[in-house]
Structure 1
């Protein structure tokens, strides 16, 4: 079937559809749980501080594992790994919906985050492999739009599902989409070419993951613990030590997880800055806008999505701006 599909002119857009589905579901699941925390807390006989780990654990695992999952895609094959990511994400969503305690739910969210990290780490690499250079800027901008849509649609969709059914529905909604995504990955994504005969830097990945998790743990709980408390300062110091060990180890290994030489080029830091500088204020604005609406106006959850719609205009121009930047950069060369 793949050989027949490859003969069609729109085959690359079928690949884009499969990749976009995984990206959208990964980001949607990160934000859909926020509005469901109160009913989850009540149903599982917990408190809001403990239930917050359902959200925090998901983000911590994704942030820590993205470099490793990207490296695994390079070595083991991106298409095959992407299918595994869909399968793991879907199975973990089923487990999350059947959790009977807050500890079980948090543990299953970690498994869900592992599958989501596979999808997010390999999405752009798969897309850029099948689109010509003159279309990559536009397509990457469209991926950025899908990431924003997933984050914005999560609270609204979560509120609708919680009010219409219960909190289990915010996890069960991933199952049919995940099954279709896995089928698309197996039927549409091409078989990976010859795999690289390289080793995977597991120790470097472990150092990076532990350091990032410790840093994010301190930043996430600094207000509750106190920014000058022993716990917060200890986590920050521990993360710095791990990052130093990570850099020293990566310089000594033959096939590092992260090639540090790219940090010395001018293009990479500039690209990171250009990507993050518009995202931080926009994400902060959306976050505080939701909080303002929920607290000041006591809105019902299903109305929250309508008030977040204006922020979609902040991201709808991403494909055009990315294509414009690519055209201008090609001229400057």
Structure 2
């Protein structure tokens, strides 16, 4: 069987890398860039912190909930159509989010943006390992990881500049041209290859994982106002536990699970994942609260806020 990497020239490989690298750069940018505008959204859209934080949470929650499903879809229908479709959805979501007249539509379009982002980035590492030979794979993955970091670093400062010079809406427009470049490079140079054989999609696993994460995040968010011991919040918490149990039970029993639980038997992998989880929990609080302190308490300009968020 011919190796895909052997059928591509070095130029083709790096042009495909350009599509993947720009795509993940914009996705990382859109995650980090919105922190600067949260205090502005509270004022302009006349909403409270409990609701405005969902501008961040809706994006990250949606991506996390469907990323395993996207991986399975890539295995079933091919990686190229998933990537192209995700890029289109991301651009459409970005345009609509920038034009949103109220917080409800903004959150809806952020979900669409996140779905597109998940489709466009979840398969990138897998594509890279297929198109690069073993001798170049480490270099490609290293540069790819740097693209992710660069987007996260550039986001807050760029967001502060856009907020200072234009408006918060340009936060969502800024990534559109880059996404168009990513789409063109993928459409032009990425080989189309659908896997052979019939595969089943784990609908129960996908639905239970999404329900688990959504109910748990609603419990954590709105429990601040309603009280974590209120019947509604306790109901959400119990529902999150039940759906998590259903997800675990499903993944153990199906032949083609979304998540192979056997990987967690590797102690080093599990420890590394636990450390990453703790670090994201700590940084998440800083990411959501620090912009309000810098803007409303210290009365700093958006550019300075963005610069401080970048350094943090």
Please give the TM-score of this superposition, normalised by the length of structure 2.
0.85
**Residues in 2 aligned to 1:222 and 1:128: alpha-carbon distance in whole angstroms:** 43
Worse-matched range after superposition: 276-285 or 169-178: 276-285
- Does structure 1 retain, via aligned residues, the 8 Å contact 2:77–2:195? no
Asked if 1:105 corresponds to 2:106, the answer is: yes
Deviation at 1:267, TM superposition (A): 5.3
Where does residue 66 of structure 1 map in the other structure? 67
Asked if 1:79 corresponds to 2:80, the answer is: yes
Worse-matched range after superposition: 45-54 or 68-77: 45-54
Where does residue 131 of structure 1 map in the other structure? 132
Is the alpha carbon distance of 1:219 and 1:127 closer, same or farther for their aligned partners in structure 2, counting shifts above 3 Å? farther
- Does structure 1 retain, via aligned residues, the 8 Å contact 2:211–2:240? yes
**Residues in 1 aligned to 2:118 and 2:94: alpha-carbon distance in whole angstroms:** 14
Deviation at 1:60, TM superposition (A): 1.5
**Residues in 2 aligned to 1:103 and 1:138: alpha-carbon distance in whole angstroms:** 43
For structure 2, the 5+ residue unaligned runs are none
**Residues in 1 aligned to 2:196 and 2:205: alpha-carbon distance in whole angstroms:** 21
Is the alpha carbon distance of 1:308 and 1:32 closer, same or farther for their aligned partners in structure 2, counting shifts above 3 Å? closer
Is the partner of 2:100 in helix, strand or coil? Answer: coil
Aligned residues: 307
**Residues in 1 aligned to 2:126 and 2:30: alpha-carbon distance in whole angstroms:** 22
Is the alpha carbon distance of 1:148 and 1:236 closer, same or farther for their aligned partners in structure 2, counting shifts above 3 Å? farther
Worse-matched range after superposition: 76-85 or 230-239: 230-239
Where does residue 50 of structure 1 map in the other structure? 51
Asked if 1:39 corresponds to 2:45, the answer is: no
Mapping 1:9-20, distance limit 5 Å: 9-20=10-21
- Does structure 2 retain, via aligned residues, the 8 Å contact 1:82–1:119? yes
Is the partner of 2:200 in helix, strand or coil? Answer: coil
**Residues in 2 aligned to 1:8 and 1:142: alpha-carbon distance in whole angstroms:** 19
- After superposition, give the CA deviation of every residue in 1:235-266 in whole Å (9 maximum; x if it has no partner): 23211111111122223322222222333344
Deviation at 1:126, TM superposition (A): 1.2
For structure 1, the 5+ residue unaligned runs are 312-333
